[in-house]
Chains A and B, each alone.
Chain A
Amino acid sequence: GEDVEQSLFLSVREGDSSVINCTYTDSSSTYLYWYKQEPGAGLQLLTYIFSNMDMKQDQRLTVLLNKKDKHLSLRIADTQTGDSAIYFCALNAGGTSYGKLTFGQGTILTVHP
């Protein structure tokens, strides 16, 4: 089946940029997602990228997709303490369109003042 890998922890200082990385194995995915989970809450969609794109920018968020290397990254500019959360990358398994997603392990981002 699909395998999605993330590093478990990332620690940055407030104001710095954060880069969270994700690698995957299924090249048939049409959408790739970044979800954010704040303490005690469910997951919320942060952003997504269509598989025919290389980059997507949305305010402080930049998503880069390298299909050749099967590598997805999320860059958060000017990281704030409110960005401390768990970040999950996810893919629509087998290119399905109805929301059956495969998730990575999640990266715990800690932002220090």
Chain B
Amino acid sequence: DVKVTQSSRYLVKRTGEKVFLECVQDMDHENMFWYRQDPGLGLRLIYFSYDVKMKEKGDIPEGYSVSREKKERFSLILESASTNQTSMYLCASSTGGGHTGELFFGEGSRLTVL
């Protein structure tokens, strides 16, 4: 069964802390994505990566960075967490181009910043 695994389902952090959210996929997908989900706003793309060590900004990259050192792993980093980053974070992956573009999602990481 194909899988996208997010290492932490729930995190509580303090303002100013550095936060790492990890995502691993076992489908040998080229593309990986980090979305943020907020009620009434849907999903907004933070960053995505279409290859190892490659990254591109999405629609709301401010306050975030990412790392993709291995094909299966895509990390989201909050250098200095702020309360407005309290949210649900969803990781997703997809195969390379020339297909339907279906995304496979992890179960999400709910982050609370106090």
Q: Which A residues are within 8 Å of any B CB, using their own CB? A: 1, 4, 6, 8, 31, 33, 35, 40-45, 48, 88, 90, 92, 96-106
Which 3 pairs of residues, A with B, have the shortest CB-CB distance?
A99-B94, A42-B105, A103-B43
B98: which A residues are within 8 A, CB to CB? 97
20 CB < 8 A contacts A-B: A1-B59, A4-B42, A6-B42, A35-B103, A41-B107, A42-B90, A42-B92, A42-B106, A45-B102, A96-B101, A97-B97, A98-B31, A98-B96, A99-B93, A99-B101, A100-B31, A100-B45, A100-B48, A101-B45, A105-B41
- A103→B41 CA distance, assembly (Å): 9
Contact with A along B31-57 (1 / 0, CB 8 A): 101010000111111001010000000
Are A48 and B45 neighbours in the complex by a CB distance under 8 Å? no
> Which size class do B's interface residues fall under?
20 to 34
- A92→B43 CA distance, assembly (Å): 13
A6: which B residues are within 8 A, CB to CB? 42
Q: Which B residues are within 8 Å of any A CB, using their own CB? A: 4, 30-31, 33, 35, 40-45, 48, 50, 58-59, 90, 92-103, 105-108
Q: Classify the secondary structure of B's interface with A.
A: loop
User: Closest Cβ of chain A: how far from B44's Cβ, in Å?
Assistant: 8
Are A88 and B43 neighbours in the complex by a CB distance under 8 Å? yes
- A9→B22 CA distance, assembly (Å): 32
- A92→B33 CA distance, assembly (Å): 14
A106: which B residues are within 8 A, CB to CB? 42-43
